[in-house]
Structure 1
Amino acid sequence: MSKDEFDVVVIGSGASGGAVAYTLCKAGYKVAVLEKGRLIRRDEFSKDELAYCRRDIVTPNLFEEYHVIEEKVNGKWEATPTYDSGWSFWNGNIVGGSSNFMSGMLHRLHPDDFRLKSKYGEIEGANVVDWPISYEELEPYYTLAEEIVGISGYYEPHPYEPPRSTPGFTQPPTRENAVVTLLDKSCKALGIRSLVTPRAVLSRDKGHRKACYYSNFCGSYGCSSGAKGSSREALLKPALATGNLTLMTNTHVKYLHTEQKDRVNSAVAIDTVTGKEKKIYARLFVVAAQAHESARLLLNSANKYHPEGLANSSGELGKNLIFSGGGSGQGELHENELKEISFGELMQTGYFVNRSILDWYFVDDWWHGKFKGGSVEFMFEHQNIISRARKNNYEEGRLVWGKALGERVVDRFTKQKSIRFEIFNDWLPNDNCFVSLDPTHKDKYGMPVGKLRIGAHPQDIKVGKYIAKKCEAVLEEMGAKNIYSSISADPAQNLVAGGCRFGNDPKTSVLNKYCQAHDVPNLFVADASFMPTGGSVAYTWTIYANAFRVADHIAKILKKGMPG
């Protein structure tokens, strides 16, 4: 085995791993980023729907690497490998991770998200706790991420908009489709305030990155201009330019090796191309592999010092896994019934809807009661051609075909446009949502795969359905037809957090307030694993901000010469 020595080894190159590497390389430290996937350069990205949405070009083959998912069926927990279900929990295993494929709709958590238990008290069946840090402690890092990553937008004061230390964004909003005129007017008629969505997409050139070129394909696809604020573009490229970053692609970490109880000595990794194994040494290790995989890595790193998993003296490792609650809905705007704007304006491709609603972030309703709510994003339906062409092609249970099918597809693409909403609300942590090691299934490297039990709290569904009704009313006011919504206990697999909860008490948490393992001082976990609750927005901006905060703390430790 070869021997490499670094100040810091970072496992994973996504939003959190990139932020840690950027900060430490800029501070002059030698950092190795270990990424299981390959490097795809900007000019290699395409809008090939088959490649990116229907095949495994950027994720592992499910027959080689997979998860086992436990869901309750008829009152009993049933486990199914994802190679049978096709339900993939991989979210972009390439340099930059899933940040390459996000739509970039980013919001800060609200200050009350950090004190959910204090705000709302105990919730039966949920393991809700306050965070060990406050919004005020994280706010400077939200601002830092906003500048470095490049978040465009327009700030408008709102009761549920978190306070800012700067008056506005450094980049103006991205261009908007004329549908926002109709949406804004409809919201106003219903007494609702629509807000411009902060988006990790450049509206103006920034350094080596070009502004958005409005391809019409953002979510699910890599960006060919560098406008999207992915870890690859915004963080790893500048880190490489310092000369202090070693980027090791096709490097899958099987486990972390310890030779004494309170210190990680090396990462044991395998070259996914050659199959050769090696140890990579460092003074300090940062796990940033995505929440469920980070917990799995630490569980697979069990040894005589840590028999239940590395840094798991509390027994909390893998527990309180969380996703994003909510769901989505959609309606159709038709040519012959459109209000306020022309059909030609509606059909202009590429421009964003760029509208959010925070009015229901906290609900105090005389009929439904007082409870934590959620946020809403409006957008056009995903522009994938194949999936759009396949929709609504059945009549009375039978497939429409021939000339009738052709006419229906043409009408769908030329005479109407679908607008949708996505709801984000808290997925309450509970005892039936966790990741463990499957006792029988192993991946192609011989390591036990992650077994994810997915149990949602009933409150999640209640909140989602409440907000969905409000959103359907907005679409009705806009004149949309064929409106529907879907609120499910099945989570979207692209927003995963928890499993390595941080806190002040080593008996009830895996990490301290700086995301440093209580049991192993030279081990940090920087991805969304640390989150004890998820808030009611997408996690990405918080992941970036917290990773910058963690990296600052690591730099201070290294400056003091510890751990050595």
Structure 2
Amino acid sequence: MKEPYDLVIIGSGAAGGILAKRAVEQGMNVAMLEAGPLRDKNKDFPYHQPFPYEDPYRKPKESVDLSKYLFVKNADEPYTAPQDKPFTWTRARNVGGRTLFWGRRCLRFNEWDFKGRSRDGQGEDWPISYQEIAPYYDLVEQFIGVTGVVENHPDVPDGKFLPPVALKCGDHIIKRACEKMGIRVIYDRRAMLTRAHGGFAKCHFCSACDKGCETDSFFNSAYRVIVPLQKKYPNNFTLISNAMARAINVDDRGLAKSVSYIDKRTGADREITGRAIAVAAGCLESTRLLLLSKSSRFPNGLANSSGQVGKNFIEHLTVGVRGYLTDISFAKPYDGDGIGSTHINIPWFGWDRPKNSFNFVRGYQIELGSAGFRLRLDKDPKGIPGFGADFKREVRRWYGTTMNLKAFAEMLPHPDNFVELDPKVVDKWGLPVLKIQISAHENELAMTKHIYETLEEIFHHAKGVELRKGPYIPGDSIHEMGTCRMGSDPKSSVLNRFQQAHDVKNLFVVDAASFTSGSHKNPTLTIMALAWRTGDYIVEEMKKGNL
């Protein structure tokens, strides 16, 4: 395919995959750069947990080394953070990005999630409304397949759902506990196929999604979008893997003209040209790329006349409580692993409370997790004393009773939370790395106290025992957002309502860096809905000759 391409997309995850789908299907010539390889489904995934005799403590045979695809620390690609404010940055290097590892939870933002400032005076309103994005939520849900139930809950607008999965024992216990507190629980909404859909098989309920899926029954960008595009559109879709973007270059008019990238297999420096450039490398990587793309026209980084690139960094504050549900002790074993973890969600319950019911603004949602065999050491069979019938009885007392309640809370933007280039540290290719600074502030701290009280009360009604609090660990949510936010004013935002740079009309940032606020909902569904909308916009603008 001859250059320039109509569109060059940097990144192949949730945003890049959906954007490519919309552009390619409408006839555009698209090239996609991905910093990692396309993984071999037959070699690069440990499909199931090892058998007990293969457990790491029993010297198992070697499994697949996932650290080369998903990592925090990496000598080739370091990052920095203040010593007193550490940050855990989980990154993926493979086609499909983190969609090969994500939790698959799909919750729509509601109207007030887009208009938070109008409600409480904090942060900024998005330049779009729920009504504008709702049709794209529909399209994405119908494409990827989302299990769920229409529930008419004020926090989470209903969508286009596949059939739900049955609740597990722990789900019923927690649901009854919440009902005693006046808190509504809904069926979980996940990008899982509970029936055959879009040419892909129904989930076979092995509950090992994070180990790979041979039937592609959970949505991921690699095998549900990228590979199908390669097969169906070989003449107008080009995937370039192991390509680490290092700069976006501009022409004399200040328009994006090309991407310089490093071929990681050879170390060669290469360049690719396009009529439009879309950055979809993940919030922090996209931000770093813009900051690295300096020129005489953009001395502080590309599209950064506002000085807002890297500012307004937000994530989800995540804290939890873990304990054991005694009502499950000695329960009869049943085949109910389902779609992994638990099958319910606890949305924010504050919408119908009086205005001053809380000493904080915004809210949180609660996700549930069951650790299955991975018991605490003192409850693990290896740590339980005794033998014979008494030993077996004690094992059965604790096996399968673990429950983890984890809240995802909205974080407000704060001047002290930002990312920037660290001029003192470079990566393997000599490029300055990202320095990340984020911490919880007054509103988040007040919300954290309320979260712990709520989770402990739920456990009380569920007859939970041996509760342990989990602290906020910056980065633990893996939901980075906000560093190139959308807005109507070019002086206080980087992008317009179509994720288009105010300064560079043929440059788009389509991942969660564009978020104006983070809500308390998992961001991936909204990332994909926005990317779908932006893809259609790019196609129309090119037809009009505006790009």
TM over 0.5: yes
Counterpart of 2:440 in structure 1: which amino acid?
A: A
Q: CA 1:145–1:351 in structure 2 vs 1: closer, same or farther (change >3 Å)?
A: closer
Q: Which has the higher strand share?
A: 1
Q: Displacement, 1:486? A: 2.5
Q: Which residue of 2 aligns with 1:149?
A: 144
Q: CA 1:277–1:408 in structure 2 vs 1: closer, same or farther (change >3 Å)?
A: farther
Cα contact 2:379–2:395 (8 A) shared by 1: no
Q: Which residue of 1 aligns with 2:211?
A: 221
Q: Displacement, 1:261? A: 4.5
Q: Which residue of 2 aligns with 1:355?
A: 344
Counterpart of 1:360 in structure 2: which amino acid?
A: F
1:331 equivalent among 323, 333, 344: 323
Q: Which residue of 1 aligns with 2:59?
A: none
Q: CA 1:504–1:409 in structure 2 vs 1: closer, same or farther (change >3 Å)?
A: farther
Cα contact 2:317–2:477 (8 A) shared by 1: no
Q: CA 1:367–1:29 in structure 2 vs 1: closer, same or farther (change >3 Å)?
A: closer
Counterpart of 2:8 in structure 1: which amino acid?
A: V
User: Matched residues in 2 for 1:368 and 1:256: separation?
Assistant: 45
Q: Which residue of 1 aligns with 2:27?
A: 28
Cα contact 1:6–1:282 (8 A) shared by 2: yes
User: Matched residues in 2 for 1:351 and 1:493: separation?
Assistant: 20
Say which SS state the counterpart of residue 70 (structure 1) adopts: coil
Q: Displacement, 1:369? A: 4.4
Cα contact 2:88–2:476 (8 A) shared by 1: no
Cα contact 1:175–1:351 (8 A) shared by 2: no
Q: CA 1:213–1:414 in structure 2 vs 1: closer, same or farther (change >3 Å)?
A: farther
Same amino acid, percent of matched pairs: 31
Q: Which residue of 2 aligns with 1:344?
A: 332
Q: Which residue of 1 aligns with 2:14?
A: 15
Q: Displacement, 1:248? A: 0.8
Q: CA 1:436–1:370 in structure 2 vs 1: closer, same or farther (change >3 Å)?
A: closer
Say which SS state the counterpart of residue 423 (structure 1) adopts: strand
User: Matched residues in 1 for 2:214 and 2:115: separation?
Assistant: 40
The answer on 1:67 being equivalent to 2:55 is: no
Q: Which moved more, 1:46-55 or 1:497-506?
A: 46-55
Q: CA 1:213–1:361 in structure 2 vs 1: closer, same or farther (change >3 Å)?
A: farther
The answer on 1:91 being equivalent to 2:75 is: no
The answer on 1:293 being equivalent to 2:285 is: yes
Counterpart of 1:20 in structure 2: which amino acid?
A: L
How many matched pairs? 527
State the Cα RMSD in Å: 2.9
Cα contact 2:72–2:88 (8 A) shared by 1: no
Q: Displacement, 1:196? A: 0.6
Q: Which residue of 2 aligns with 1:547?
A: 531
Q: CA 1:57–1:520 in structure 2 vs 1: closer, same or farther (change >3 Å)?
A: closer
Cα contact 1:501–1:511 (8 A) shared by 2: yes
Counterpart of 1:56 in structure 2: which amino acid?
A: K
1:185 equivalent among 160, 176, 179: 176
Cα contact 2:318–2:476 (8 A) shared by 1: no
Alignment of structure 1 residues 104-123 onto 2, 5 Å: 104-122=104-122
The answer on 1:374 being equivalent to 2:364 is: yes
Q: Displacement, 1:110? A: 1.6
Cα contact 2:88–2:475 (8 A) shared by 1: no
User: Matched residues in 1 for 2:452 and 2:375: separation?
Assistant: 26
Q: Which residue of 2 aligns with 1:476?
A: 460
C-alpha distance after superposition, 1:325-363 (max 9, x if no partner): 1312211124xx448xx7125784445521111243545
Cα contact 2:47–2:214 (8 A) shared by 1: no
Cα contact 1:88–1:493 (8 A) shared by 2: no
Q: Displacement, 1:233? A: 3.0
User: Matched residues in 1 for 2:348 and 2:312: separation?
Assistant: 28
Q: CA 1:170–1:475 in structure 2 vs 1: closer, same or farther (change >3 Å)?
A: same
Q: CA 1:58–1:52 in structure 2 vs 1: closer, same or farther (change >3 Å)?
A: farther
Q: Which residue of 2 aligns with 1:5?
A: 4
Q: Displacement, 1:55? A: 3.2
Say which SS state the counterpart of residue 55 (structure 1) adopts: helix
Counterpart of 2:332 in structure 1: which amino acid?
A: G
Q: Which residue of 2 aligns with 1:268?
A: 260
Q: Which residue of 1 aligns with 2:134?
A: 139
Q: Displacement, 1:270? A: 1.1
1:313 equivalent among 301, 305, 316: 305
C-alpha distance after superposition, 1:359-388 (max 9, x if no partner): 43545476644632211112213x5x6xx2
C-alpha distance after superposition, 1:47-84 (max 9, x if no partner): 4778678733444861110210125x3xxxx7x7xxxx
Q: Which residue of 2 aligns with 1:176?
A: 167
Structure 2: unaligned runs, 5 residues or longer: 50-55, 57-62
